[in-house]
């Protein structure tokens, strides 16, 4: 989940603890272009305070007016768009529609359980039965997303996306800055004092341990990515040896195609299977002709974004080439 939707749940909990009533709005269906994807959340407090977003602003204003008049006592569906008048009024693309389910804020114990699961990096789902207004929590299937069948709304709340960068060089600096705008939580590992001394990116945790220990402590999950970017074979390879055993959704290494072929040969000397080694993305990023550090950062994050959204990338790969195996401890 992104930080905006997490903020909605946290705000609902705070409001309830302070004795306020609130309404939760969820985007359950879209047609055509939509300002926010299915599953997006908006919380509206009884006195008009907002948290989250379901559109660019016009729909929020209409929801606020509706709820100020009468807060819903049970789940109800609202449909925006579909007519030229609606599209103009709510600034929706021509022909676009947005289905939003309103409901009273979920009970405090249920919200507490959801937030605890997110903190523990455990996906958790909630099913809301429209007719009875009853909610129940469950363990979602892998890759499950928000689903509404007309009778039941199933929402999935997953941990936030994380990115571990090995190396505090220029490319990592741009990656950390841009990735934060894409809602990643960032950690940087670099045992080299001279690189740590020049690191100046705010809100990115800098760690000084050895890469293999840091990866173990990071404990990558399916909402995590690990990038080896030091150009130092022993540091990058130490990180990859641990990361490739994890369920991280993306593991990549900087370097040319030939150097990444050599890297795969080195990794075969250790306790990694061919399946695990095949998960390595290298060269890292999409082939967009990038040369400068910010361009390389953009190419990497473009590939991560595509994979996060389930876009199948068709990139021609070069057959493996025979190389002389280098020891793990050799540095460039």
Q: Rounded CA gap, 170 and 176, in Å?
A: 10
Candidates 2.40.440.10, 3.90.1170.50, 3.10.20.30, 3.40.50.720; correct CATH number of 162-308? 3.40.50.720
Q: Give pLDDT, residue 105.
A: 95
Task: Enumerate residues 6+ apart whose C-beta is below 8 A from 121.
Answer: 159, 221, 223
Q: Give pLDDT, residue 97.
A: 82
End-to-end CA distance of the chain: 39
CB half-sphere exposure, 108, CA atoms < 13 A: 9
pTM: 0.79
pLDDT band at 314 (very low <50, low <70, confident <90, very high): low
What tens digit of pLDDT does each residue of 220-265 get? 999 999 999 998 999 999 999 999 999 999 999 999 999 999 999 9
Q: Rounded CA gap, 164 and 237, in Å?
A: 14
Structural domain boundaries in the chain: 3-157, 162-308
pLDDT, mean over the chain: 88
Is the C-alpha dihedral spanning 287, 303, 250, 216 positive or negative? positive
pLDDT band at 307 (very low <50, low <70, confident <90, very high): very high
Res 206 pLDDT > 60: yes
Contact 160, 119 (CB under 8 A): no
What tens digit of pLDDT does each residue of 68-117 get? 888 999 999 999 876 555 555 555 554 568 899 999 999 999 999 999 99
């Amino acid at each position: 989940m992104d930080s905006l939707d997490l903020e909605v749940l946290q705000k609902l909990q705070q409001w309830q603890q302070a004795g306020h009533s609130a309404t939760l709005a969820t985007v359950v269906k879209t047609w055509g272009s939509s300002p926010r994807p299915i599953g997006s959340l908006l919380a509206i407090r009884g006195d008009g305070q907002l948290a989250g977003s379901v559109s660019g602003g016009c729909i929020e204003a209409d929801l606020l007016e509706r709820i100020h008049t009468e807060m819903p006592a049970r789940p109800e569906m609202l449909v925006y768009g579909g007519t030229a008048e609606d599209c103009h009024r709510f600034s929706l693309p021509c022909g676009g529609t947005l289905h939003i389910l309103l409901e009273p804020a979920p009970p405090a114990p249920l919200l507490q359980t959801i937030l605890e699961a997110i903190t523990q990096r455990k996906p958790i789902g909630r099913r809301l039965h429209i007719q009875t207004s009853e909610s129940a929590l469950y363990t979602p299937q892998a890759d499950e997303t928000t689903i509404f069948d007309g009778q039941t709304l199933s929402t999935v709340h997953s941990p936030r996306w994380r990115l571990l960068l090995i190396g505090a060089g220029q490319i990592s600096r741009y990656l950390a800055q841009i990735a934060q705008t894409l809602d990643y939580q960032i950690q940087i590992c670099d045992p080299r004092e001279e690189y740590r001394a020049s690191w100046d990116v705010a809100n990115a945790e800098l760690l000084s341990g050895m890469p293999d220990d840091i990866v173990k402590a990071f404990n990558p999950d399916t909402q995590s990515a690990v990038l080896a970017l030091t150009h130092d074979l022993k540091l990058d390879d130490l990180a990859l040896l641990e990361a490739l055993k994890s369920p991280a959704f993306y593991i990549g290494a900087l370097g040319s195609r030939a150097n990444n072929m050599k890297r795969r040969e080195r990794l075969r000397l250790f306790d990694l299977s061919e399946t695990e080694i095949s998960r390595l993305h290298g060269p890292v990023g999409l082939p967009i002709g990038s040369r400068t550090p910010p361009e390389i950062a953009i190419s990497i994050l473009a590939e991560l974004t595509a994979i996060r959204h389930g876009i199948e990338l068709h990139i021609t790969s070069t057959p493996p080439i025979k190389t002389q195996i280098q020891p793990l401890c050799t540095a460039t």
